[in-house]
């Protein structure tokens, strides 16, 4: 087991990642307010819509910013702040931004491949992606900090996330949840593979 946690980055980098998360959340709020109050939710059609090429773009980019209600947005923002904040602190600015883009694009593309018909919107795919990323840090990096964070995240959110995937409520996109979690895990693994490849070439 690697006891070295220096790979998590220095504090300026971590604070930069937290700022990036804050900007992301403010953008979600701004888009929701404009979409709900000015456009009457007409942008909701720009979510991820399976079974057609036009349902992939711009949905993979726009879907995390679109929400059906204030409650939908608020629920996602609370968990996003916690899990996204943990991901930001453990990864630093560059890794956090890269993980966010990877989860949104790859998780969105996977949602497009497996999901039911309809417009899949909301930041929950990104939330589940951060969960997968954090768990992946513990599984693949095995540093004390990563294992501790993964344990806390699994304890606090694991059950709810499991039931959110296996027993979704109403129109909840369990496909988006599953795709996001797998994308987060995949990115955590990809980081380790790339780092190992670089180390062997030295």
Residue 183 neighbours by CB under 8 Å, 6+ apart: 102, 103, 106, 107, 110, 129, 132
Confidence bin at 7 (pLDDT 50/70/90): very low
Output the pLDDT for position 74: 94
Asked if the structure places residue 154 within a domain, the reply is yes
Asked if the structure places residue 28 within a domain, the reply is yes
Asked if the structure places residue 1 within a domain, the reply is no
**Per-residue pLDDT tens over the stretch 111-135:** 999 878 888 999 989 999 998 999 8
CB 18 within 8 A of CB 90: no
pLDDT at residue 173 tops 80:
no
pLDDT at residue 47 tops 80:
yes
Q: What is the mean pLDDT of residues 100-118?
A: 91
Please give the C-alpha separations between residue 186 and each of 38, 106, 130, 166, 193, in angstroms, as whole numbers. 38, 9, 11, 20, 10
User: What global pTM score does this model have?
Assistant: 0.87
Domain of 167, CATH number, reads 1.20.1540.10
Mean pLDDT of the chain: 85
Output the pLDDT for position 141: 80
Asked if the structure places residue 2 within a domain, the reply is no
pLDDT at residue 51 tops 90:
no
Both tokens of 199, joined, read: 């180390």
Task: Provide the number of structural domains found in the chain.
Answer: 1
Output the pLDDT for position 4: 40
The secondary structure of 17-82 as a DSSP string is HHHHHHHHHHHHHHHHHIIIIISTTGGGGGSB-SSSGGGTTTHHHHGGG--SSHHHHHHHHHHIII
Asked if the structure places residue 4 within a domain, the reply is no
In the chain, what is the greatest distance between 2 CA atoms, to the nearest angstrom?
56
Output the pLDDT for position 138: 83
**Per-residue pLDDT tens over the stretch 57-88:** 888 999 999 999 999 999 899 989 999 999 99
Burial (CB < 10 A; 0-12, 13-18, 19+), residue 60, is buried
Q: What percent of the chain has pLDDT over 90?
A: 53
Structural domain of residue 45, as residue ranges?
A: 10-201
Output the pLDDT for position 162: 66
Output the pLDDT for position 6: 40
Output the pLDDT for position 160: 64
Output the pLDDT for position 189: 94
Asked if the structure places residue 187 within a domain, the reply is yes
Output the pLDDT for position 21: 97
pLDDT at residue 9 tops 50:
no
Q: Which residue has the higher pLDDT, 9 or 34?
A: 34
Asked if the structure places residue 5 within a domain, the reply is no
Asked if the structure places residue 158 within a domain, the reply is yes
Residue 98 in 3-state DSSP?
helix
Please tell me the distance from the alpha carbon of residue 131 to that of residue 145, in angstroms, as a whole number: 15
């Amino acid at each position: 087991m690697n006891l070295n946690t220096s790979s998590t980055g220095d504090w300026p980098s971590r604070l930069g990642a937290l700022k990036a998360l804050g900007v992301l959340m403010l953008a979600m709020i701004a888009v929701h307010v404009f979409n709900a109050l000015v456009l009457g939710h007409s942008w909701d059609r720009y979510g991820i819509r399976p079974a057609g090429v036009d349902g992939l773009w711009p949905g993979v980019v726009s879907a995390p910013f679109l929400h059906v209600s204030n409650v939908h947005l608020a629920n996602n923002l609370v968990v996003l702040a916690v899990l996204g904040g943990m991901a930001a602190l453990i990864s630093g600015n560059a890794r956090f931004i890269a993980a966010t883009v990877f989860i949104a694009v790859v998780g969105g593309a996977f949602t497009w491949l497996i999901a039911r018909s309809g417009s899949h919107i909301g930041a929950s795919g990104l939330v589940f992606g951060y969960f997968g990323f954090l768990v992946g840090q513990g599984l693949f990096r095995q540093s004390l900090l990563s294992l501790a964070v993964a344990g806390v995240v699994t304890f606090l959110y694991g059950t709810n996330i499991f039931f959110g995937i296996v027993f979704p409520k109403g129109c909840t996109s369990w496909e988006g949840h599953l795709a996001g979690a797998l994308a987060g895990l995949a990115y955590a693994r990809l980081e380790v593979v790339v780092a190992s490849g670089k180390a062997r070439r030295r």
